[in-house]
Chain A
Amino acid sequence: MKISKYKEVFTKIDTDPVMDHRIQNKLLYHEYEGIGYAQREERRAYGKKRGGSVIRILSRLQPALPSVAFLAVIAVIILGIGAKLKTDEKTPASENMISIDQGEESNGKASTDIGELTHEVAEDAEVNSDDGRTEDISFNSEDGQTHTVEQPDDLKEVSDIKHTADTEALDTMVKDNPEDTHISDINKDKLATDEAGKFYMAHFDVISEGGYKRSIPSLMIRLHGTVDTISPEDLTDLVLTRDGIPVDNIISKEYTVNQFTWGYEEVTDFIFQFNIENREPGNYGMIGKYKGEAFRVYNKIIEGTMTDEPADPNALKGVNWVYSPDKDGRPQKVAEVVFSFSGTQYMFNPEDVTDIKFTRDGVEITDYSFMEQVFRYLETFGDSADTSFNLVFNNAFDQSGTYVITGKYRGVEFTSWDITIP
């Protein structure tokens, strides 16, 4: 084979306009962890910050260090007092105990006293290991070096993040050090307080019936923190669109409130009903502002009213397979049969498939059955859509050979693509 031939063949391989349109559409309206493309710059900036030098990050956090240190001292003292009281109850006659009064009065050795005190608490903490706070103490006193100003590095790092109010960094920290979650919990309260009342996200509330997205009755505005009220007047420039075209439908001034913990923080949802429930099929989107800050509501597709109408046999595009591959990507097990249709199709009844003949190397297989549930997948792009229905074998086939399935779907003959298991 000549390399020029290779180039010639691969030059013909390219995307097509329909594919481009689909991918671009998904990129522009991509929802990833609640982040739309409008926030891309913010996310990229975060990525850059994460890759920045430790010195630069610390220099930015420097102003917060005194208050962090102060809070840490208060926390150690309070927890120390609590643990001390517990210890006193257990061993009131212990000669090794240092009274809090003594510790506070002995300014000259305050540091040592607190260090010893913390050490005692650490021992006590092991008894109360179910308590997150006692674990915290245990963490601090591992080396017996906990002092009033110096903190263990890990604690300092988490405290620093608290003052940056950088929730993503906090998340990362918690994920990286799951055992430190109790430390982060202390800081999340402060974080939630700082952010309370600020805009978090906006979503459509979608009602589904049997897997079909039927309507959008309301708009949900989520704010950080536990908030009791919202002023509807703060929501301005709202434009609801369906397939990119503005829809004349406004939200009610009335709302319902839902306060709850989402992930690790308190949030409040304010749910505004649309004056008219959005049932018309299409791709719904919305833009607007909350207190002057622009936001975008993530797009949702409404499929329309569910019908019992079976898939149109004339729209059957083909019958394919789902298989599990081996490490080289070659078929290893044939697991599902996929009926692909053009357009939006609603129902697929396996009993509509007749004269079915399932063969391996031309020899008919009779000992097979499908799961009762048929899996439906709908993909829309622009004005068109594809629907596929997957029939899942109760027992996948792994014998080598070439598999083909033929038959009729509501009178229309079909032959699947063949699939070969080596």
Chain B
Amino acid sequence: MENTQCTEQWISKEWILNRYDMYKTMLYRVAFSYVGNKFDCEDILQEAFIKLCYHAPDFPSSEDEKRWVIRVTINLCKNHLRSFWHRNKVDLEQLEEYAPAPEDLELLQDVLRLPGKYKTVIHLHYFEGYKIAEISAILKISESAVKMRLKRGRELLKIELEGIHEN
């Protein structure tokens, strides 16, 4: 293995691990807000990274890459929920692992109960800090649709804005 050809190939390994470290937490949270199950999230995360590593085009910037992989993850979540046979690990214990306090658990359950289209924009906007225009680009929907989903999502979750303004 100590030859130039092989050394060049191993660079890809570093690239993969680098990207994994860069995106894993963000994508895991996006997926978790959708499916609420760590086993399913793991499958989705794995699939998203496989797409990023083996199928993605070259991106003009790292931000484009990030948006692309977010969109892929969201699509995988949707496909997962649509699939006829998807495993259910109805597992409150898992939720409790992340949200031991009763009020936190309730919040998490509320988020998971929210229809997918609302929780995506809520999560991207309030947690990941994406602007409305950026969410519009990621989800390929109009800005007004993003605003509407934010509004309805907030209403459903009874979110208080605490001075945060949509930008």
Q: Do A and B bind each other?
A: yes
Q: Which of A12, A27, A40 contacts B98 (CB 8 A)?
A: A12
Interface residue ranges of A16-71 to B (CB < 8 Å):
19-20, 22-24, 26-28, 30, 32, 35, 37-38, 40-41, 43-44, 47-48, 51
B87 in contact (CB, < 8 A) = yes
Mark the stretch among A79-87, A202-210, A319-327 that contacts chain B.
A319-327
* Best-buried of A7, A15, A324 by chain B (most CB within 10 Å): A15
Q: Which of B17, B53, B85, B89 contacts A335 (CB 8 A)?
A: B85
Q: State whether B58 touches A44 (Cβ < 8 A).
A: yes
Q: State whether B127 touches A10 (Cβ < 8 A).
A: yes
Taking the nearest CB of chain A, how far is it from the CB of B41, in angstroms?
A: 8
* Best-buried of A3, A24, A41 by chain B (most CB within 10 Å): A3
A313 in contact (CB, < 8 A) = no
A174 in contact (CB, < 8 A) = no
CB-CB under 8 A for A48 and B57, given A3-B126, A321-B90, A329-B35 = yes
A231 to B20, CA, bound (A): 41
Binary A-proximity of B51-88 (CB < 8 A = 1, otherwise 0): 00111111000000000000000000000011111111
Q: State whether B160 touches A1 (Cβ < 8 A).
A: yes
* Best-buried of B87, B108, B162 by chain A (most CB within 10 Å): B87
Q: State whether B12 touches A37 (Cβ < 8 A).
A: yes
Mark the stretch among B1-9, B131-139, B141-149 that contacts chain A.
B1-9
With a cutoff of 8 Å between Cβ atoms, the chain B residues found around residue A420 in the complex are 90
Taking the nearest CB of chain A, how far is it from the CB of B33, in angstroms?
A: 7
- Considering only CB atoms and an 8 Å cut-off, how many residues of chain B contact the other chain? 63
With a cutoff of 8 Å between Cβ atoms, the chain A residues found around residue B1 in the complex are 237, 239, 287
Taking the nearest CB of chain A, how far is it from the CB of B65, in angstroms?
A: 12
With a cutoff of 8 Å between Cβ atoms, the chain A residues found around residue B38 in the complex are 19
Q: State whether A40 touches B12 (Cβ < 8 A).
A: yes
Taking the nearest CB of chain A, how far is it from the CB of B45, in angstroms?
A: 6
Q: State whether A32 touches B86 (Cβ < 8 A).
A: no
Q: State whether B12 touches A38 (Cβ < 8 A).
A: yes
Q: State whether B32 touches A13 (Cβ < 8 A).
A: yes
Q: State whether B20 touches A9 (Cβ < 8 A).
A: no
Closest partner residue, chain B, to A40 (CB atom):
B12
B28 in contact (CB, < 8 A) = yes
Q: Which of B16, B83, B87, B162 contacts A28 (CB 8 A)?
A: B16
Taking the nearest CB of chain B, how far is it from the CB of A361, in angstroms?
A: 15
Q: State whether B158 touches A48 (Cβ < 8 A).
A: no
With a cutoff of 8 Å between Cβ atoms, the chain B residues found around residue A44 in the complex are 56-58
Q: State whether A37 touches B13 (Cβ < 8 A).
A: yes
A32 to B52, CA, bound (A): 13
Taking the nearest CB of chain B, how far is it from the CB of A136, in angstroms?
A: 33
Taking the nearest CB of chain A, how far is it from the CB of B70, in angstroms?
A: 15
Q: State whether B161 touches A3 (Cβ < 8 A).
A: yes
Closest partner residue, chain B, to A18 (CB atom):
B42
CB-CB under 8 A for A419 and B88, given A6-B126, A15-B28, A287-B1 = yes
A14 in contact (CB, < 8 A) = yes
Binary B-proximity of A145-189 (CB < 8 A = 1, otherwise 0): 000000000000000000000000000000000000000000000
Q: State whether B49 touches A23 (Cβ < 8 A).
A: yes
Closest partner residue, chain A, to B88 (CB atom):
A323
Q: State whether A6 touches B159 (Cβ < 8 A).
A: yes
Taking the nearest CB of chain A, how far is it from the CB of B24, in angstroms?
A: 5
Q: Which of A19, A329, A338 contacts B87 (CB 8 A)?
A: A338
Closest partner residue, chain B, to A48 (CB atom):
B58
With a cutoff of 8 Å between Cβ atoms, the chain A residues found around residue B88 in the complex are 320-323, 325, 331, 419
Q: Which of A6, A27, A329, A417 contacts B16 (CB 8 A)?
A: A27
Interface residue ranges of A378-422 to B (CB < 8 Å):
417-420
Q: A23-B20, A320-B87 are in contact. List 12 more A-B contacts (CB 8 A).
A: A4-B162, A13-B32, A15-B28, A23-B24, A23-B46, A27-B16, A27-B50, A37-B16, A40-B54, A323-B88, A331-B88, A335-B85
8 tightest A-B CB contacts, nearest first: A329-B81, A38-B9, A323-B88, A40-B12, A294-B5, A47-B57, A419-B90, A9-B104
What is B's interface to A at a CB cutoff of 8 Å?
1, 3, 5-6, 9, 12-13, 15-17, 20, 24-25, 28-29, 32-33, 35, 38, 42, 45-46, 49-50, 53-58, 81-92, 98-99, 103-104, 107-108, 110-111, 115-116, 122-123, 126-127, 157-162, 164
- A-B CB contact pairs (8 Å), 29 listed: A3-B159, A7-B126, A10-B33, A10-B123, A20-B24, A23-B46, A26-B46, A26-B50, A27-B49, A28-B13, A28-B16, A30-B50, A35-B54, A40-B53, A40-B54, A41-B12, A43-B55, A44-B56, A47-B57, A47-B58, A48-B57, A237-B1, A321-B88, A325-B81, A328-B115, A329-B81, A329-B116, A417-B92, A419-B90
